[in-house]
Structure 1
Amino acid sequence: MSQTGTTVNGPLSSPSRTRWNATDLGLIAVFAALVAGAALVPGISANVFGVPITFQTLAVMLTGLMLGPTRGFAAVGLYTLLGLAGLPIFSQGRSGLGILAGPSAGYIIAFPLAAALVGWLATIVIRRTSRARALWFFLAATVTSISLVHTLGVLGMAINSKATIGEAFLADLVFYPGDIIKNILAAVIAVALHRAFPDLLVRRVKRISA
């Protein structure tokens, strides 16, 4: 049998996994570009620390829901690395390592981790149910937003702006209504795309689980 998607027996055996092919690499590049494009849509400074509201979290969640944990992490990680390397693809056209000293640092660091977590949760949903996937995807995105994006975002604002955790937490609350709407959109879009293109993740997950 082919090694792709199967377990290789012997002294170097490992859990079954699917190797990346040219299509996977192309998807990683496409979704990295999607996150970059979402970041460059003009946003507004939403709180006293100047962190803007953008469509970036929508793109990050959609990336994880569509690609799963490893490819999702790779796509958003690629976007993050390119931005830190100097490409002006962060919100408001910013770039460079200096972003890590600003109030948005925690959100930037959280994005690749969030794509991995929501992607992992998406694979669990796909394995266990075919019903109400939009609802489960929304819950996965919301759990990810709260546990990673908002948590690290608050810590980043507190550390880099020398504010208290309480002040940073209150400043972060302004993002919750928008994130709920964006998570709904990400879930609905992901369900529609998985129906249209099941090979992206659905059949992949079921094949590995079999």
Structure 2
Amino acid sequence: MEILEEKQLNLKFISITAILFIAGICINLYFMNLHENEKTKEVDSNEKDIVENHIQVPYSEKIEAYSKIYGLDPYLVAAIIKTESGFDKDIVSSMGAVGLMQIMPSTGEWIARQLNIENFSIEMLKNEDVNIEMGCWYLNYLKNQLKYTNEMLAAYNGGIGNVCKWLQDPRYSKDGEVVHTIPFKETVNYIEKVVVVYNEYVDLYKSKK
């Protein structure tokens, strides 16, 4: 009898130990899942912050105002500025392009004459009002010379002279209106970047209006 009772006690002890072991595993799994869920929420929150920071548009009032004056899509203008300068009004490229819309000094001087801006200087291109107005005026000029947005963007990046040559060359244009093959890789990449940012702005801003 004593041996039987001892065996029963041992079995009870083993059963209790097993139950506690399984319970411990369940508790650990619960807290692991809880921790993972919190981490997932944190990642989602961080990703949301990154996206929101990416699509913030400084100078939005000026962009909208000058876009309206020159008949442009403000989301496209904002996408161009984002791609050109990252909204840094004081930036100067290695080629000498200045400001938000990266206007070359010679182009700025020519635009200043069209806009009757007196005493033009390169430093004026670092002024957000001057730069955005000049950039919008120039985009409107390109839009009136060319038929489609892609060609306008190609001209803004690669020069209208090059785009006109491509339109007249059967290697690059089949109909004289659309450049089917852009020979400048930099210009191809530029257009792709602008389109990506433009679509982000439309999805995250225009849909909320």
**What TM-score do the two structures reach when normalised by structure 2?**
0.29
**What TM-score do the two structures reach when normalised by structure 1?**
0.29
Q: Which has the larger radius of gyration?
A: 2
